Structure 1
Amino acid sequence: MMKFATWNVNSIRQRQDHVLNYLAREQPDVLALQEIKCQTEVFPVDVFKTAGYDSIVVGQKSYNGVAILTRHAHDITHTALPGWEIDPAQARYVEIRSCGLVFGNLYLPNGNSGGSAGYDSKLAFMDALALHAHGMLQAGQDFVLLGDYNVCPTDEDCAPGALSPDDALVRPQSRAAFRRLLWLGLTDALRALHPVGRFYTFWDYQAAAWQRDSGLRIDHALLSPRVAERLLTALPARDERGKPQPSDHVPMVVTLADATG
């Protein structure tokens, strides 16, 4: 069995011990992190190496930043999303090949800041992601695209009243861009196993959102067709949000059966 997870940690320096505890307890094969909020050279590579994980990091001072932690041999395939050239300084994508799969870790722009240009940047990222996914499908590559998509795909993925109708996370164009990925042939891991029901991965720090369970499902794992055939489980690790000084996101965790043939 293979286990992987995606987790927006909202600062690795503040949540390092949370991540270490999660790794020790759950022992995922791959953990994709977003919003590490540090430059590449100050990411705690040695700390995670001691815990048994190699770190592949694309950092940025104070903002954004993505990293992949893996227990297995790997090759780095991309340190930026191919085709997204809006702002190359933004650290929003890293990709490796490991265990016969490509793991793409993404932190998609929120789209609520920067006016219309900020929202256009979000849609441009999603366009580039769809084109990259299409290319991998055409090449017969097995892959997973996981991370903080900053999109609630349906109304059921957003607690009633949590967002205004014009929020970038729920606008029709955002949802259409997410559906485009599914129409390519990708599988939303959680919804494949849990077609209905409210499963959240994010609760704001404000307005007692956690206590009221006013959450969002914005962290996703999309699987290419042969990977989807191996899908066993997919659920958020909800308990992480109730721990002291948590991230506002929790890990989205997926397990796969071992490959055959």
Structure 2
Amino acid sequence: MKVATFNVNGVNGRLSVLLRWLEQAQPDIVCLQELKAQQNKFPTAPLRGAGYEGIWHGQSRWNGVAILSKGSDPIETRRGLPGDVEGEHSRYIEAAVKGVFIGCLYLPKGNPARGPKFDYKLAWFDRLIDHPAALLATGAPVMLVGDFNVMPTELDVYKPERWVDDALFRPEVRRAYQGLLDQGWTDAIRSRHPGERIYTFWDYLRNAWGRNAGLRLDHLLLSPSLKDQLRDANVDREVRGWDKASDHAPAWVTLSKFPDN
């Protein structure tokens, strides 16, 4: 089973890129972030034509998350984190899909650091840490997937010395991410590529893509019951070079199949 995450940076404006990648990669489950589309503007018909059913939590102009499933309907279990203010940000959606609980998230960026937006990011991260702990306690197979807006280590950022005061790399944020892992989650890409520089994001500015000046912001975390099911994990980095591409590339894992798949 192949599970992927893709910050599409506008699901309608980059629909051709998304559909091309779906046809090429054939993931079984896909988590999308930054839909930038109202709830009634999600492109259900073309995605269904590509073989995918979905649930989504839209928001006009900003944010937005979705879970797609090939050939089956995701069963929604949660929309928003506990403690979220209703109607504020569309950043979390959760579903039971093909025998796995999937939490799809888009964590706030938080810049400028040491300000209200950074405080909001840390508070949202605290709520994120509390909720997955409850999911793990069930013993069910769970994945946390999406754009965490965190570079966990120096391997995850081009020229880390330039990012020390950025909200994506500040110690408080990296500690929060590590606290999440300490609950028992496995960072699938880092697990498969322990010493390798791997990026999922390249800015549109300063020829970042051409210079491979990237960041690893998109992560796929596996609960302990899924760790031994991990077969591979990587990034479809070539998608970033396509015409009208998002500034993110899809990241994915392959897992052993479950009995009810």
TM-score by length of 2: 0.95
- 8 A contact 2:68–2:74 mirrored in 1: no
Match of 1:146 in 2: 145
Calculate the aligned-residue CA RMSD, in Å.
1.6
- 8 A contact 1:236–1:250 mirrored in 2: yes
Q: Return the letter of the residue paired with 1:81.
A: L
Match of 2:225 in 1: 226
1:70 partnered with 2:69: yes
Match of 2:92 in 1: 93
Runs of 4+ in 1 over 6 A off after TM superposition: none
- 8 A contact 2:55–2:74 mirrored in 1: no
Match of 2:247 in 1: 248
- 8 A contact 2:107–2:124 mirrored in 1: yes
Match of 1:8 in 2: 7
Distance, in Å, in 2 between the alignment partners of 1:115 and 1:179 is: 20
Match of 2:116 in 1: 117
Residues matched between the structures, number: 259
Q: Return the letter of the residue paired with 1:170.
A: F
Moved more, 22-31 or 196-205: 22-31
Cα deviations across residues 186-245 of structure 1 (Å, max 9, x unaligned)? 000011111111000000000010111100001000110011110011101110011111
Distance, in Å, in 1 between the alignment partners of 2:69 and 2:29 is: 5
Q: Return the letter of the residue paired with 2:194.
A: P
- 8 A contact 1:96–1:103 mirrored in 2: yes
Match of 1:18 in 2: 17
Match of 1:156 in 2: 155
- 8 A contact 1:147–1:219 mirrored in 2: yes
Distance, in Å, in 1 between the alignment partners of 2:60 and 2:112 is: 19
User: How is 1:177-256 mapped onto 2 (pairs within 5 angstroms)?
Assistant: 177-256=176-255
Match of 1:80 in 2: 80
After superposition, the Cα gap between the structure-2 partners of 1:161 and 1:176, relative to the gap in structure 1 and judged at 3 Å, is closer
Alpha-carbon offset, residue 81 of structure 1 = 1.5
SS at match of 1:28: coil
Distance, in Å, in 1 between the alignment partners of 2:257 and 2:208 is: 38
SS at match of 1:14: coil
Q: Return the letter of the residue paired with 1:4.
A: V
Q: Return the letter of the residue paired with 1:75.
A: I
Distance, in Å, in 1 between the alignment partners of 2:175 and 2:31 is: 25
Match of 1:49 in 2: 48
SS at match of 1:191: helix
SS at match of 2:13: helix
Alpha-carbon offset, residue 74 of structure 1 = 2.6
Give the unaligned 5+ runs of structure 2: none
SS at match of 2:149: coil
Distance, in Å, in 1 between the alignment partners of 2:206 and 2:55 is: 35
Distance, in Å, in 2 between the alignment partners of 1:111 and 1:102 is: 27
Q: Return the letter of the residue paired with 2:34.
A: E
SS at match of 1:216: coil
Distance, in Å, in 1 between the alignment partners of 2:160 and 2:172 is: 20
Distance, in Å, in 1 between the alignment partners of 2:223 and 2:251 is: 17
